[in-house]
Amino acid sequence: MTAPQKGLVALIGAYERDNFGDLLFLLQTEAYLADHGLETLATSAFEADMTPLLGRRIPAFHRILERQAVDHIWTVGGEVGGATMATAIAALGARHGLHAGRAAAIRTLSGASPQAPAYLARPTAFPRNALASLTLNSVGLAGLSGVPVEDRLVHLAALREADSVIVRDTSSADLLAREGVAHRLAPDLIHTLALTRPQPRRHSDIVLVQASERWIRAVGPQSLARALVSAPDLKTARIRLFLAGTAPGHDSVDAFAAVARHVRALAPATDIELDGSSRDPWQLVNRISEARLWIGQSLHGRIVSAAYGVPRLSLADPKLDAYAATWDEGMPAGVIPTTLGSAVERALSREAARGDEGVGRRLGTLADASMRESIAVMLARTPADRFASRIAGVEDLRRRQVAVLEAAVTRKLSRGLRTAVRRSTGHARRQARMAALRVRSAMPHEGER
């Protein structure tokens, strides 16, 4: 460990719930920052008791940044683009008996407004931390394109205040390039497990299968079961259904049970059951590293598999497809039930094994270098270095917000004017028709002339 350096880093991420990748982001980021002598404080969108998985409670970052000065703010990773407090609360609804979008509930749990970014802090929005550094690592931002323009301005303003923005896919990089936001493209941080937690490959007949409840419902559990049973390379495998996350909207024991029932009905001899691993993130990493094959919809299931050289294929998902196309083209992605058998054959082929040799370490090395560069930038810059750009950024945001408001008012007035013109024109036409009828009725008929 290097010599201690002064600095408190407020970490922000979606680890207020059980989701494998988000928990790994926190643990791996903490390890890197501790190596640089930095103290960390894990925060999230909402307050949550994560003692069973993380051994601690997680406070809401809005409240922390309003009340406490920190030296650095760091978003640890994930699909943060376009995520607002209103959308993020959906993942906590079942736990708190709340409904997504309820402003009172959001304010109670976080101290923020429903429209505020869920996992992205804009330092100048918090007077005590207006000059704190801001780093975003391993983030996906493509979702910003679907956010209303007034909310997108706030997200982009936060990104412009950042010292470092590291995105993990080309879609996010393209969006930031269009918006003129400085950024770097690098593999996801979790690839660094190949360097920080190396493990030898073990022979195994276990195939891990993972899919979200929504995905299984969309394709039908019987369709997935039929695909698993029909794949020749899975005939003798021990199939284990892997829960990447138990938070609402993620994986479901009931959905997996339905798949297993259909598999047993089609092929009673198939060895299939729910994976009984602990929910501890490192135990889940170990399970993946020991598998013969990974089949899943979890991005970090694929990334951990890549880190340990495990053959892998990804079920169709836009986020996952984009990431695989950027960094991991050698293994199948975009797989649907009807293509599962051929994808399994390809992933387990000798050609795929040759192409995958060294990929885990190469991506891990790139992610490691990016992480260390971000830490160096964070520590090198001072509050004085940020002062002028932060002031200019606030003024720029206000100008953009005024322009959007003016455009909205103009559109409203224009619509109102057009409506008034249409009404006036219609009224005039009606009056003209009535006048014509009156004239016509007053004219003598042919026989009266």
Report pLDDT digits (tens) over 385-426. 999 999 998 898 888 888 877 777 787 777 766 666 666 666
Q: How far apart are CA 224 and CA 262, in angstroms?
A: 9
pLDDT digits (tens, 9 = 90+) for 43-99: 999 999 999 999 999 999 999 999 999 999 999 999 999 898 988 887 665 444 444
Under the banding of pLDDT at 50, 70 and 90, the label for residue 232 is very high
Under the banding of pLDDT at 50, 70 and 90, the label for residue 427 is low
Q: How far apart are CA 57 and CA 16, in angstroms?
A: 9
Q: How far apart are CA 189 and CA 365, in angstroms?
A: 10
Residue 444: pLDDT above 80?
no
Q: How far apart are CA 272 and CA 92, in angstroms?
A: 30
pLDDT digits (tens, 9 = 90+) for 34-53: 999 999 999 999 999 999 99
pLDDT digits (tens, 9 = 90+) for 340-385: 999 999 999 999 999 999 999 999 999 999 999 999 999 999 999 9
Q: How far apart are CA 253 and CA 256, in angstroms?
A: 5
Residue 428: pLDDT above 90?
no
Under the banding of pLDDT at 50, 70 and 90, the label for residue 431 is low
**197-358 belongs to CATH 3.60.130.10:** no
Domain boundaries, the chain: 8-185, 197-358
Residue 288: pLDDT above 90?
yes
CA nearest to 389, candidates 127, 124, 135: 124
Q: How many CB atoms lie within 10 A of CB 95?
A: 14
Q: How far apart are CA 366 and CA 348, in angstroms?
A: 26
- Strand partners for 8: 39
Q: How far apart are CA 208 and CA 130, in angstroms?
A: 46
Q: Are 303 and 25 in contact (CB under 8 A)?
A: no
Under the banding of pLDDT at 50, 70 and 90, the label for residue 433 is low
